[in-house]
Amino acid sequence: MLCPASLSRSLISGLALLALLVVPVSCDLSPTNENNPTEAQTLSTAEGIRALAVGMQEFYATDALNATIPRGVAITSREIAINNTFSNLVEMEAGGDNLSTSNANVEAIWSDNYRVVRMAEDLIENAPQVNLSAGTQSGIIATAHVFKALSLGNIALVFEQAPVTTDLSGTAPFEPRQEVLQEAITLLNDALSTLDSTAPSGDFASNIFSIAVSDNATPIEGLRNTIHAYRARLNLLAGNDQAAIDAANQVDPAIQTTFSYNDQSQNPYWQELVQSGDLALRDSLGSDLIETGDARIDFFTDPSDATSTPNGLGIEDPDGFFTTASTPAPLFVPDEMTLIRAEAMLNQDAPLSEVVSAIDSVRTDLGPSPFGIEAELPPYSETGRPMTEAALQTEILRQRRAELYLQGLALADSRRLGPEVSDREDPSFSERARNFYPYPDQESRNNPNTPESPDF
């Protein structure tokens, strides 16, 4: 992610390293680098707070996003194939009982997202204590609420229980996944309240806020739009159907927000799919549901006859948001809101014709769309599929799988909308490899509140 130029790169580097040394939910076993600023120095100065705010956003967009989606949930959801024989990757693709509590990929999802949580908590607590203008403080605190919410949302995608805050004593209590989602929603609501209470300054928008916003909106309008989109997403996952619809209706589909990258802070999908080649995109976006002729296949992938190592799965070359080190990646795509409305309406027993109308606005999209993602499919009535609640639930899953490819939602979608999967006795590569991840060893060793890992 591009860092605002007004901040000292040496300070940002030192603060980023300081953040990496924090193991936030349990205890810190890492040595201190005496050349870096101490945590107290970071949190007691305006320059330190500003730099930490930038570093938090950058760390999330690179390390945390990489750990959560390409190297994590996208393997389990079958969107991505492993293409190397590293044991941690082999375990991830095998899933089931083969995925151990010592798996480095699972540990990275946990630790990287909670590093962001810890940075956000430090900003929320300490930004009011240093010499910042009211508008700059407001922007930093709102952004900290957002990124804590994003990270807790990531945790709730793959763990049955988790802490909602960090605890340096190493004894953070675990809460059910539903409570973690609700905490993330509350944080997003708090972010909106902060923005409403005090308008963020131009200094914050120009020099601290790192999310790129399309030219048709201001940075703060882009931030608000993103908050509404994630409120819609997380409320749907939490089962709050009307709240999800209400939030989705507040999203302007023409405003694009993206994580921006460069040669120093690289696109994490490109790193895994191109630079290392340890991972690869699955044929048909990794799902038997995807229809022949769906133009989104060609948006996200380039055709290839290659197969993966070691499991011999059909794989494709990356396209779309994954092609270069500097290709920007969207925080959300606009038609997610349409599909949220369709699913929530179905859950509320709305007329099926209204649900189909929402689905068809995605199916028949010919563009131009904000990111160029268009299905170019015929309407649902021409598929020959029945007009039943069960069939439309599967159709929503089909459209989410293609429209929201590698947004990190496919595993949760599969659990919610797909068939029951409870073991890997028949290790089909068309269904998810696990329902939830085991808790990493480092957490269970250090935190006595860690529950037993789920069986599957």
Boundaries of every domain in the chain: 9-271+326-421, 277-315
Q: CA of 238: how far to CAs of 100, 124, 157, in Å?
A: 28, 25, 11
* Per-residue pLDDT tens over the stretch 386-439: 999 999 999 999 999 999 999 999 999 999 999 988 876 554 566 899 999 999
CATH fold, domain 9-271+326-421, is 1.25.40
| Residues in contact with 231: Cβ distance below 8 Å, sequence separation at least 6, in sequence order | 185, 188, 189, 243, 244, 247
| pLDDT at residue 67, as a whole number | 98
Residue with tokens 């004894």: 171
Predicted local confidence at residue 14, as pLDDT = 42
Which residues, other chains included, contact 352 with Cβ-Cβ below 8 Å and sequence gap of 6+?
A: 346, 387, 388, 389, 392
Separation of alpha carbons 220 and 135, rounded Å: 12
Q: What percent of the chain has pLDDT over 90?
A: 87
Cα–Cα distance measured from residue 75 to residue 145, given in angstroms and rounded to the nearest whole number: 29
List pLDDT tens digits, range 278-314: 999 999 999 999 999 999 999 999 999 999 999 999 9
Name every residue whose Cβ is closer than 8 Å to that of residue 135 and which is 6 or more positions away in sequence: 198, 199, 200, 201, 202, 203, 204
- What are the pLDDT digits (tens) for 149-182? 999 999 999 999 999 999 989 899 999 999 999 9
| Residue 377 to residue 335: CA distance in whole angstroms | 15
The residues that bridge with 176 in the sheet, in sequence order, are: 161
Compute CA distances 142 → 192, 199, 200, whole Å: 7, 10, 9
CB 433 within 8 A of CB 93: yes
Buried b (16+ CB within 10 A) or exposed e, 65-83: bbbbbbbbbbbbbbbbbbb
Which residues face 349 on adjacent strands? none
From first to last of the 456 residues of the chain, give the pLDDT tens digit: 554 544 444 344 444 444 444 444 653 434 345 556 677 778 999 999 999 999 999 999 999 999 999 999 999 999 999 999 999 999 999 999 999 999 999 999 999 999 999 999 999 999 999 999 999 999 999 999 999 999 999 999 999 999 999 998 989 999 999 999 999 999 999 999 999 999 999 999 999 999 999 999 999 999 999 999 999 999 999 999 999 999 999 999 999 999 999 999 999 999 999 999 999 999 999 999 999 999 999 999 999 999 999 999 999 999 999 999 999 999 999 999 999 999 999 999 999 999 999 999 999 999 999 999 999 999 999 999 999 999 999 999 999 999 999 999 999 999 999 998 887 655 456 689 999 999 999 999 999 999 999 999
Asked if residues 405 and 285 have their Cβ atoms less than 8 Å apart, the reply is yes
Q: What is the pLDDT of residue 24?
A: 45
Give the C-alpha separation, 178 to 67, whole Å. 22
Rg (CA), the chain: 21
pTM: 0.94
Q: Which of 109, 118, 124 is nearest to 23 (CA)?
A: 118
Q: What is the DSSP string of 372-417?
A: --------GGGTT---SHHHHHHHHHHHHHHHTTTSS-HHHHHHHH
